[in-house]
Structure 1
Amino acid sequence: MMVGEQLQGVIRVRYSLAFLERQLAEYAKERDSTTRRLALRGLLIGGVSLLFGALLSVLVAISITRPIKGLASTASQLARGNLSARTDLATRDELGALGGVLNHMADRLILLVSETAQRARLSKEMEVAAAVQESLVPGPAAISLGLVTLAGFYRPAEVCGGDWWNIFYVDDRRVMIVIGDVTGHGVSSAMLTASAKSACDAMARERGPKLTVLGLMQTLNHVIYQVGRRQLLMTCNITMLDRATGHVEFGSAGHPLPYIVSMQDGQPHLRGLIARGNRLGDRTDWNFKIETDQLQPDDMILWYTDGLTECENPRGEEFGEKRLRNLLVQQMRHNASSARDKLASAADDFYRGKAQADDITFVVGKVERT
């Protein structure tokens, strides 16, 4: 210690750090304990988090796979033919959209099956109608009527057509050759041709020798008027042929006129069997004019519907009346079957495979030498 400028003595002070060291040791111990507790708590929280995450993953997986299994089950039932199976998944996510698509597909399948069944029924009905149609026309074999031999050709534009022709025996000597063309083609036209043919059968059976061309034409007009209800009409040509003499009576209802080719002075000469009349079924008070003609040995006669001359080739050209007349003259020396085949072949060559727009029907008659 200093007094003034002189040193008077020394004071020594001593401190103990034991207490501080104990406090620091306790603090360190408490720190380690706290650290262990925090670490344990962290481990516990981490474990719980992992467990919760795993559980959540399982639940999410279940929530996804359950709808998928439901969709798979519905699809499997549909594949086995249970078209009433539906999924009730109504979520707003992609799976819900997929469920809606699956239900829509099931509805479309029901509609498709129904339409297929309906088409099958319609196809069967068309087959029946086609069978009925075939009964309205004689087959392709030549038909001998004594003085005259006939050979016919018939090809509808569809399964069923509106063209028809047939022969009706009036008595031992006379037959009626009827050819008709109902407007349009298809089932409705075919059914009307069936009605017309049935009327001819009934008239030939009931009237017999008293049946006339005019009487049959008037009856057909009333039948077509009643059945067609002015929605469907029919052109028609009726020829009464005396098989012994070759005498013919004929009438027309708006139908293409038949052609006859005869030999005159060694040269073929073509003429038409002209008779005037309106189409059948439009009115009930039509008057039909009946004409007559005489067939000679070696004459060739052709009845036909307008489909033969009006069908077109790929260039839009019609077969035409002029071409038909020229071809008919060229067949003068052939028999009925050969002339029929050559006309059909020439027409097909002209059409060049183009689909028919109308039914094609024609009948070739050849007068034989006695």
Structure 2
Amino acid sequence: MTVAGGRRRAGASLSVKMILTTTLLIIVTVVGSGLLNVFNIRRVFDDTTQRQQELFSRGRETLGEIGTPLFARAVQQLLIDRGRDPDIVSLVRETVAQDTKDQDGRKDYGLKLAFVLDLNQNLVAHCYEDAKLECIQGATPHEPVGPALGQLSVTTWQRALEAWKAAADTKGPALVRFDVEAAGSRYRVFAFPVFIGDEPTAAGAIAADRPEARQGYVILGYDLAPIAWFATSAAEQKAEASTRAALYTGAVGALFALIGTLLAIFQGLSISRPIKQLAWKADQIARGDLMARVEITSSDEIGFLGENFNFMADQITILLQQTAEKARIEQELEVARAIQETLVPTADPVDKGALKFAGFYQPAAQTGGDWWTWSELASGKYLLVIGDVTGHGVPSAMITAAAKAACDVARHVHGDTVTVTRLLEIMNHAIYESAQRRFVMTCFASIVDTEARTITYANAGHNFPYLFRSSEGKGEFGSLMIRGNRLGDDRTSKYEAKTTELVPGDVIIWYTDGIVECENEAGDEYGEKRFRASVRKAAALDVGEMRDAIVADATTFFGEAPRKDDITMIIGRIA
């Protein structure tokens, strides 16, 4: 596909990608479903096998718990009578033989091992069934269990003694059980002492000094081979079922993959054609043909996309026009900003011997409504004026220009004899006529007399400047408090003046409300309290450093929160 600039775009087309993606998705879905199906089948077989094994194991357990004491009761009288070893052998043979049965072509022996000992732990009868049932009668006189009976019987008897000893230590029951492995086979063994007249105990079973009630022992070993049969059979069935499921899933998956691929080809082509048309029209617009539009032939998402494309093309045309207009306005705002910066003195500290001061001005937008100025009068007097127009932006900046012009006119007309009250009256008239009460301005005018060490001031609704005076290593705040109407509120407003004496070291802080009312990211205002604390902390610095320290503290508090008002401040110190 050719794109803007005549370059050839490499790579597969959208329709090819859709076909490949859809086919791959179908294959992944089918394979995933097949794997999940096989997994579920295997899990069901595993659960079933486990339940069968648990059920069989519980059956053997129950059989041993009930059958062993019953068998002991059956041989009890025979052991008491003495000399009836053949009868005991016959009973053991019959008990072992009748517990054998066929299961799925295999022989489940059930009770596979059984032997009876006399009261002195010597062999009376022993039966073990494997390919055939073999039973032997103990020697006369009776002898202990020995290797001639096979390692299984020796191990079983040793384990029985150990189990009785452990049960005796914990006061456990006389019937003990344990598992024994021999020649690849597992057995669940139950051992029980034969007592007469008294309750059988584990301690009595192993006592070297034979209790009178002890008449002998019975040991029964049940075959656990069917547990392995269950596992082997389940594994074979599980493998067969898994193979069938995989083949079935593969066949169905192939069919679905074929059908899905054909549908994907059809759908991919129906979608890619109108998109290619959109791309062609976009290329025309990129080449400068802003009148290029697509033809809408459907009401689906593609048609909706075409309508939005045409709307976008219309908006691009409008946006280009608006961008040009915005660029023109931005240029004019930059000019207005440059002009306003000439209305405010530079940030360099001013040193007039007995009076040192430094100002700070930061608008909230490109242009602002705050303003300050100063002038040197005769006989060591200095005029300092600070003001704040309602709002900020270009309209407020125009009012500050009118205020600056009125201040300059007052200085020109009255020269060094200008007073703060006359200055505010002239400025009030000028702002009233200029803004027609749509905008007003707070203003504080002051004249510092360095020879008389006084400050004379008048206020037009502005914040009261702070007077910070150090005494005995501490510092106290005072205010240059006087009230008056805002400039532009009333054409006939009159203002009063007040004079305060100053002493060396006094710090005067003129400021607008922006620094105390601006908020941080949490919505908390900087506030008068933090402002005074910052002034107190930096009071020992030079005026320029003091100004910078206060501004830095406020800036840290504001963080990344946007400023909602202009910030203007003058720091003055009496030497």
- With normalisation by structure 2, the TM-score equals 0.48
Counterpart residue identity of residue 365, structure 2 = E
Cα–Cα, structure 1 residues 363 and 104, in superposed 2: closer, same or farther, change >3 Å? same
Who is 1:113 aligned against? 320
Who is 2:463 aligned against? 256
Computing the radius of gyration over CA atoms, which structure comes out larger, 1 or 2?
A: 2
Is the 8 Å Cα contact of residues 284 and 292 (structure 2) preserved in structure 1?
no
* Structure 2 residue 393 is matched with structure 1 residue 186: yes
Counterpart residue identity of residue 358, structure 1 = D
Cα–Cα, structure 1 residues 172 and 104, in superposed 2: closer, same or farther, change >3 Å? same
Q: Where does 1:19-38 land on structure 2 (aligned, <5 Å)?
A: none
> Is there any run of 5+ residues in structure 2 with no aligned partner, and where?
1-272
> How far 1:112 moved relative to its partner?
0.9
| Structure 2 counterpart SS, 1:281 | coil
Q: Where does 1:100-179 land on structure 2 (aligned, <5 Å)?
A: 104-171=311-378, 173-179=380-386
Counterpart residue identity of residue 228, structure 1 = A
Cα–Cα, structure 1 residues 92 and 324, in superposed 2: closer, same or farther, change >3 Å? closer
Cα–Cα, structure 1 residues 299 and 80, in superposed 2: closer, same or farther, change >3 Å? same
Who is 1:342 aligned against? 549
| Structure 1 counterpart SS, 2:388 | strand
Residue identity over aligned pairs, in percent, reads 40
RMSD value, Cα? 2.8
Is the 8 Å Cα contact of residues 192 and 227 (structure 1) preserved in structure 2?
yes
User: Which of 525, 532, 535 is the aligned partner of 1:318?
Assistant: 525
> How far 1:286 moved relative to its partner?
1.7
Distance 2:466 2:547 in 1: 14
> How far 1:199 moved relative to its partner?
1.4
User: Which of 489, 498, 503 is the aligned partner of 1:296?
Assistant: 503
Counterpart residue identity of residue 385, structure 2 = V
* Structure 2 residue 509 is matched with structure 1 residue 307: no
Is the 8 Å Cα contact of residues 340 and 364 (structure 1) preserved in structure 2?
yes
Is the 8 Å Cα contact of residues 164 and 181 (structure 1) preserved in structure 2?
yes
Residue-pair matches, total: 301
| Structure 1 counterpart SS, 2:500 | strand
Distance 1:117 1:175 in 2: 47
Distance 1:234 1:212 in 2: 19
Cα–Cα, structure 1 residues 309 and 73, in superposed 2: closer, same or farther, change >3 Å? closer
* Structure 2 residue 494 is matched with structure 1 residue 287: yes
Distance 2:467 2:550 in 1: 15
Q: Deviations over 1:282-331 (max 9, x none)?
A: 11122212111122111111000011111122222221112222322333
Is the 8 Å Cα contact of residues 182 and 192 (structure 1) preserved in structure 2?
yes
Is the 8 Å Cα contact of residues 301 and 365 (structure 1) preserved in structure 2?
yes
Cα–Cα, structure 1 residues 75 and 251, in superposed 2: closer, same or farther, change >3 Å? same
Is the 8 Å Cα contact of residues 347 and 359 (structure 2) preserved in structure 1?
yes
Who is 2:90 aligned against? none
Cα–Cα, structure 1 residues 97 and 307, in superposed 2: closer, same or farther, change >3 Å? closer
Distance 1:104 1:316 in 2: 40
- With normalisation by structure 1, the TM-score equals 0.73
Q: Deviations over 1:316-363 (max 9, x none)?
A: 222111222232233332210111111111112222232111111111
Distance 2:395 2:438 in 1: 10
Is the 8 Å Cα contact of residues 168 and 201 (structure 1) preserved in structure 2?
no
Is the 8 Å Cα contact of residues 343 and 401 (structure 2) preserved in structure 1?
yes
User: Which of 173, 195, 202 is the aligned partner of 2:409?
Assistant: 202
Q: Where does 1:212-251 land on structure 2 (aligned, <5 Å)?
A: 212-251=419-458
